[in-house]
Amino acid sequence: MRRKWMAKMLVLTMLAAGLAGCGDTAKESKEEEKTGTEEKASEESADDSGKEEITIGVTFQGLSDEYIVRLSDAFKKRAEEAGVNIQVADGQMNAEKQVGQVENFIAQKVDVIVMNPISADGCAPAVTAAKEAGIPIITLISTTSNQDQASTYVGSDAVESGEIQAEMVVEDLQGKGNIVVMFGQMGHDAQIGRYDGLKKTIEGTDIEIVAEQTANWSREDGMSLMENWLSSGKEIDAVVAQNDAMALGAVMAIEEKGMTGKIKVYGIDAQGEALDAVEKGTMSGTVFQNAEKQGSECVDVAIKAAGGETLENNYYIPYEGVRADSVDNYR
């Protein structure tokens, strides 16, 4: 009996020892698994913290302008989608102010600078400063006189817009008549390019420019200027305005004089009110400039620049002529 009892005790002791050993092994396995998971999480956290966010500094020529607001909105929307930081500055139609804003971006060591310059010559020092600081600088929808120093250009060809607009004028006037030209801000890339496109297209026709003056991209200035031209007694067949805002100002002055339908009006940008005017017939045509595409494309190009990718010299978004029968395509 004693031997049987000792044998049972021996078996129980061995069984207990085995179970204890299994428990220790399981515990060790769980500890190793836990440690491995923690190490992996730590590594992933280190990887995430190593990712540097891109910061883009952008100065717009003037956020009081209707088209520039659309451009800015498109830029901001795409930046948010792409997860990049942006610092936005309003140049308030002042080249000196824009140069100062670019200098601030340089001091803050942003990754990329985007400038929508108000003046080809006035904003040129900003491009030089960015290049000397080793920060990529992209010009947006207008260029500077030292464009070759910029990293690239994103926008449209100003000369092309002037040509498309002028082609509508030539067609409607059947190659002869008197026109007046409303300029944007003098020295602006679009002011120069659109005028070049106009002159090139009417060359060889019997269309004559009887007056030309700046209305500074402004509806109010466009209305005032048109009132002066109407009061001068000049014979005017058409108004060629370098943007829709000035064209709409001209329309207002013509309506007040009771001359709607007697003078044709053309703009550029295809803004909402201008599309309505073209559909109604108070404007004879406008030229579509794709603010949404320009703004979003610029963010994508800026991201490439921040990553050190090789950029093209230009990223062009084409213009398109808009008549009453095609208005719905641009709403």
Give the three-class secondary structure for 295: helix
Task: Give the domain ranges of the chain.
Answer: 55-156+291-317, 158-288
Domains 55-156+291-317 and 158-288 in one fold: yes
* pTM of the entire predicted model: 0.80
The pLDDT of residue 88 is above 80: yes
The pLDDT, as a whole number, for residue 100 is 98
How does pLDDT run across 38-51, given as a tens digit for each residue? 444 334 433 433 34
Residue with tokens 């003046």: 119
CA atoms within 13 A on the CB side of 225: 26
**Averaged pLDDT score across all residues of the chain:** 88
Name the DSSP letter for residue 83. T
CATH number of 158-288: 3.40.50.2300
Overall size of the chain counted in residues: 331
How far, CA to CA in Å, does 22 sit from each of 13, 15, 34, 200? 14, 11, 18, 92
Give the H/E segment covering residue 141. none
Domain covering 55-156+291-317 in this structure, CATH number: 3.40.50.2300
Query: Are the CB atoms for 84 and 299 separated by under 8 Å?
Result: yes
The tokens describing 272, both together, are 């909402």
Q: How far from the centroid of its chain's Cα atoms is residue 308's Cα?
A: 21
**262-293 residues labelled b (16+ CB within 10 A) or e (exposed):** ebbbbbbbbbebbbebbbeebbbbbbbbbbeb
Banded pLDDT at 52 (limits 50, 70, 90)? confident
- Per-residue pLDDT of 247-257, as tens digits, reads 999 999 999 99
pLDDT tens column, 270-310: 999 999 999 999 999 999 999 999 999 999 999 999 999 99
